[in-house]
Amino acid sequence: MDIIREADVVWQGSVKEGKGKVTFGSKAFEGEFSLKQRIGEAKSKQTNPEELIAAAHASCFSMALSGELTKAGSPPDTITTKAKVHFGPEGAGFGISLIELETQGKVPGIAADKFVELAEAAKKNCPISKALAAVKITLKAKLV
């Protein structure tokens, strides 16, 4: 049986002047978004779809890496991950051209090369990475 997660969005107005509101099904997040925020013209506390993708990817990858490390007998103390989603003009519209993952782990009892190997496995096997397979995804992994 599939686990279903959802979000609800209400958009008001034209694409250029309008704005939307997204609410996670869990009610853990609710926020506004707009085209101006998406293309960098607004300076407000709004989000955008690419930022939400970055948050989802960094979260999923960190959990996947924790799983890989735990299976290898070295559960992490801490994993910190930043995801950078590159968004810009593409053809007649816009697109996502690259996602950069940067992770650091505080993991007792593991060698740096093994950490990098497990981070690569997590990148490959994370469900969000799989869903975003049409986009180039890079990884920088560092043991601290």
How many beta carbons lie within 10 A of that of residue 137, not counting itself?
Answer: 18
What is the predicted pLDDT for the residue at 69?
A: 98
Q: Do 94 and 32 fall into the same domain?
A: no
Q: Are residues 34 and 95 in the same domain?
A: no
Are 42 and 19 in a shared domain?
Answer: yes
Q: Using alpha carbons only, how large is the chain's radius of gyration in Å?
A: 17
Total number of domains in the chain: 2
Instruction: Give every CB contact of residue 122 below 8 A, 6+ residues apart in sequence.
Output: 61, 64, 65, 67, 68
Burial of 62 (0-12, 13-18, 19+ CB in 10 A): buried
pLDDT at 14: 97
Per-residue confidence (pLDDT) for residue 53, from 0 to 100: 97
What is the chain's pLDDT, residue by residue, as a tens digit (144 residues)?
999 999 999 999 999 999 999 999 999 999 999 998 888 876 788 999 999 999 999 999 999 999 999 999 999 999 999 999 999 999 999 999 999 999 999 999 999 999 999 999 999 999 999 999 999 999 999 999
- The CATH number covering residue 96 comes to 3.30.300.20
The predicted pLDDT at position 76 comes to 98
Q: Within this chain, do residues 34 and 61 fall inside the same structural domain, yes or no?
A: no
Claim to verify: residue 70 and residue 137 sit in the same structural domain:
yes
Structural domain boundaries enclosing 118:
49-143
